[in-house]
Amino acid sequence: MDTIRSENITLLGYEISAPTITTSSTRTLYRADIILKDDDGLNEERNRQLLIHIYDSIRNSSYRPNALNLFLFQTVEHSESGMGQWIARVSKAKIENEPTISVQHFKIHTEKDPKYADDKSLTIEKRKLIFKELIEAEDKSMLLADTKYPRTSIINSDKNSDYQQKLVKNLKAKIQKKYKVDEKRLKAISLEGLEYNWPMPPMLKD
């Protein structure tokens, strides 16, 4: 884990995952995830400075890549979700001279937000748990629908969609009963999780 300082901006600790390096006769692509440590990741300028620092280091490393994709995540959970929950990315194609930095904007949560002032029975920890269970319900319904009505056949398209909607409705009803919340509150929690980039569980696999 490194801590660096650049142009009066302190860049806190981070870890870089084992990179995936793809080579061809004319291109070396370096792809890796960067996980922040002890930082909420919501300072965009600090994220940009960090990505440029890491980009320069990798460009001058023994790999000498001429194409890169570096994704910055708030936590390991965000990285492992497989749902594109990065907060910033630096990329460069072989034909490009300079890298491109992209940023995804998320809200900063505070329990003093009047929008959630009446949520004494549903703490942020509990809402995050509900959010995860909602994502799992969506994934599970999709997986089961694809198993029963494979989308490889056009004739199964409507059946797949109808069955998936039926399954997810039943699963969400169970979540409502478990946490004693209504459908409106469930939708609000789902939106809150997306707005604040709460980590999602890894996607279910066959």
Q: Are residues 170 and 133 in the same domain?
A: yes
Q: So what's the pLDDT on residue 115?
A: 57
The pLDDT-based confidence of 191 (bands split at 50, 70, 90) is very high
Residue 137 domain-assigned (yes or no): yes
pLDDT tens-digit series, residues 74-122: 999 999 999 999 999 999 999 999 999 999 988 876 655 555 545 667 8
pLDDT reading at 8 higher than 90:
no
Q: So what's the pLDDT on residue 3?
A: 37
For the chain, the average pLDDT equals 88
Total domains in the chain come to: 2
Residue 202 domain-assigned (yes or no): no
Domain that holds residue 43: 4-103
Q: Are residues 82 and 132 in the same domain?
A: no
Q: What share of the chain is helix, strand, coil (3-state, %, to 5)?
A: 45, 20, 40
Q: Are residues 41 and 118 in the same domain?
A: no
CB-based contacts of 63, cutoff 8 Å, min separation 6: 19, 21, 28, 30
Q: Are residues 99 and 8 in the same domain?
A: yes
Residue 203 domain-assigned (yes or no): no
Q: So what's the pLDDT on residue 117?
A: 47
This prediction has a pTM of 0.83
Q: Are residues 152 and 63 in the same domain?
A: no
Q: Are residues 72 and 148 in the same domain?
A: no
